[in-house]
Structure 1
Amino acid sequence: MRKMSFAVVCTVFFALACFVMAGHVQAAGNTAEAKALVDKAVSYAKANGKDKTVAEISKPKGQFDKGDIYVFAYDMTATVIAHPKNPKIIGKNLLEVPDPDGKFFRKDVISQAKSKGSGWVDYKYLNPETKKIEPKTTYFVRSGDMILCAGAYK
């Protein structure tokens, strides 16, 4: 009986460990997917120019919209120039708009894009798929006078 209880406890522990690890693998995959999608958008911008890139990024369900991972773009002042999920914010400057915790994360994006050319930023944002505020990490790259971004919800 004791051996069977030990086996059951070990099996349950193993199953829980697998479940927890699967969540970490999924999050890591999402950040890798976000980075890959931004890199693809940078290549597209180099080949096609700013106007075509902005139009392509703004297409819902286009090649840069993969559901909860999608590319969006700012100019160098944090004005949204392309967004496939929320076209209402295109043309709006969001530099002084904080996340729900009061973090002005776009200032970090602009600063790092100007100084380093790329980077990651963490903040909270409304997930368009779940309609809930969730932690998000976003990868961004400066491409000319655009900052191309894609994030993954954690």
Structure 2
Amino acid sequence: MKRCYLVGMALLLVLAAGCSGPAEQKAVEENTTTGDLADFVREAAAYAATAGEDAALAEFNNEAGRFSQGALYVYAYDYNGTLLAHPYEKEAVGSDRGNWTDVRGLPAIRIGADTAANGGGYIAYLYPAPENGSIDESAVETYVPKVGYVAPAGETWWVASGVYLSDAAGPGTEPYPGPVSAMVDLVERGATYGRELGAEAAFAEISNASGIFVDPEGHYLYAYDYNGTLLAHPHLQDAIGTSLIERQDPFGMENIRALRDTAESGGGFIVFIWPNPEQENRDELKIGYVLPVDDTWWVGSGVYLSEITGETASLPSPTP
């Protein structure tokens, strides 16, 4: 289903529900940060607490309201996944989006709801980028990473907004924030290395914890075959030679299978959940990038969401 919406330097839109705005909307300032996004959502939650649910939802649905600032606006869901408010998608209000997943299988609405229920915070997911002024959720090739922020607005509902990762980079950091650009470069170099020097040399170098594919910030490369067998990894030596294709995260996403499928389709970004060793191995959303090396194996790497936002982003246990 195609939905039309405004393209801005820091385009913010509804999580997995699409958006559309009038042509006269002005773009958000290009230096909008993830911190600005969080402040905006927290302000909306505070407004809901003082104005009450009915008045707040009416304001969030108002295209000319205080929380519809050009391309920057707030939307709302209840904890069952029902869309409660969106200033530019009134026809979708009342619809159930609770089981929506992004193109790689990440249950973004469920993650947003659980994060809000635990006090709020940043999330990440994939969503289609604009093409010719419209968006098509069925167009797999248009999905790109977004960063969102969610906050509880009451006992039964929550508010949020989001920004494309490329727009969150800010001036002078195109096309992505520094850690993400470095991670993409790492994967591209690894794929080239594998093609030029062969699998044996590549696996040895990728598995070297002090090698060229582990950067000073701790980002590293890994390699799998298309059956999900781990071929090389600097920190999971004991798992090399083991198929991890059936591995599931706490929300039920088979993340190794999803990574494999992304590589098999030509490569690109994926958002998935993985334990963060810097946060006592607590589960955190990770923005990954993978590329095929040849028709037998592929490489990938990732950046934790907290590296982009500067805030702890450990996920709560999913609601049953």
TM-score using structure 2 length? 0.39
Give the structure 1 partner of residue 298 of structure 2.
147
**Counterparts in 2 of 1:42 and 1:98: CA distance versus 1, 3 Å:** same
Comparing both chains, which one has the higher relative contact order based on Cα–Cα distances under 8 Å and sequence gaps of 6 or more?
Answer: 1
The one of 219, 236, 240 aligned to 1:86: 236
2 CA distance for matches of 1:61 and 1:49?
20
Deviations 1:48-81 (A, max 9, x none): 1000000000001211012431100111111111
**Counterparts in 2 of 1:107 and 1:18: CA distance versus 1, 3 Å:** closer
State the identity %: 27
1 CA distance for matches of 2:270 and 2:220?
16
1:74-113 superposed matches below 5 A: 74-113=224-263
**Counterparts in 2 of 1:18 and 1:117: CA distance versus 1, 3 Å:** closer
Alignment-mate amino acid for residue 51 of structure 1:
E
1 CA distance for matches of 2:277 and 2:211?
16
1:52 lines up with 2:52 in the alignment: no
The answer as to whether partners of 2:262 and 2:290 remain within 8 angstroms in 1 is no
**Counterparts in 2 of 1:99 and 1:45: CA distance versus 1, 3 Å:** same
1:32-71 superposed matches below 5 A: 32-66=181-215, 67-71=217-221
Unaligned residue ranges in structure 2 (runs of 5+): 1-31, 37-167, 306-320
1:38 shift after superposition: 0.4
Give the structure 1 partner of residue 277 of structure 2.
128
1:92 shift after superposition: 1.4
2 CA distance for matches of 1:58 and 1:38?
14
**Counterparts in 2 of 1:18 and 1:119: CA distance versus 1, 3 Å:** closer
Alignment-mate amino acid for residue 267 of structure 2:
S
TM-score using structure 1 length? 0.78
2 CA distance for matches of 1:90 and 1:81?
5
The list of structure 1 runs, each at least 4 consecutive aligned residues, that deviate by more than 4 angstroms after superposition, is: 24-27
User: May I ask how many residue pairs the two structures share in their alignment?
Assistant: 135
Give the alignment's Cα RMSD to 1 decimal.
Answer: 2.1
Give the structure 1 partner of residue 179 of structure 2.
30
